[in-house]
Amino acid sequence: MGFDDPVVIILILAVAVFLFGAGRIPAFARSLGTARREFDKAMKGNFEESTSAKVQVAVPAEAAPDPLIAAAQKEGIDTNGKSKQEIASALSWKLNNRRN
């Protein structure tokens, strides 16, 4: 009974789903794909292009609030769980409808 046996593969997948949950496996696979693409780009010499597009900066909670978020909250828009693009779109829509 080797790893090429379909029963073994099914058992391994069942254990993985049981341990990690069905919701975490796609995120894990996505992160593996991203890591693989980054590795391939680095091997080809395109490392600067691949990392410059995905730089994210963590902002401490004590930092000054973002003006976009402050303006959206002032207009009564719920900002929890939304990206800045979604907040900007909702704020723009609300301000345009207020003028009309």
Q: Note whether residue 58 is domain-resident.
A: no
pLDDT at 14: 87
Non-local (6+) Cβ contacts of 72 within 8 A are 79, 87, 90, 91
Structure tokens at 69: 């978020």
* Domains in the chain, number: 2
74 with 45, same domain: the answer is no
37 with 72, same domain: the answer is no
The pLDDT profile of the chain, 100 residues, written as one tens digit per residue, is 577 788 888 898 888 888 888 788 788 888 889 999 988 888 887 655 545 555 565 555 555 567 888 888 888 888 888 888 888 888 888 888 876 5
Start-to-end C-alpha separation, the chain: 72
Q: Note whether residue 62 is domain-resident.
A: no
33 with 71, same domain: the answer is no
pLDDT at 74: 86
35 with 73, same domain: the answer is no
43 with 10, same domain: the answer is yes
pLDDT at 54: 55
Q: Note whether residue 14 is domain-resident.
A: yes
47 with 71, same domain: the answer is no
Q: Note whether residue 93 is domain-resident.
A: yes
pLDDT at 87: 86
Which residue range is the domain that position 75 belongs to?
67-99
pLDDT at 61: 57
* 8 close to 2: Cβ distance less than 8 angstroms: yes
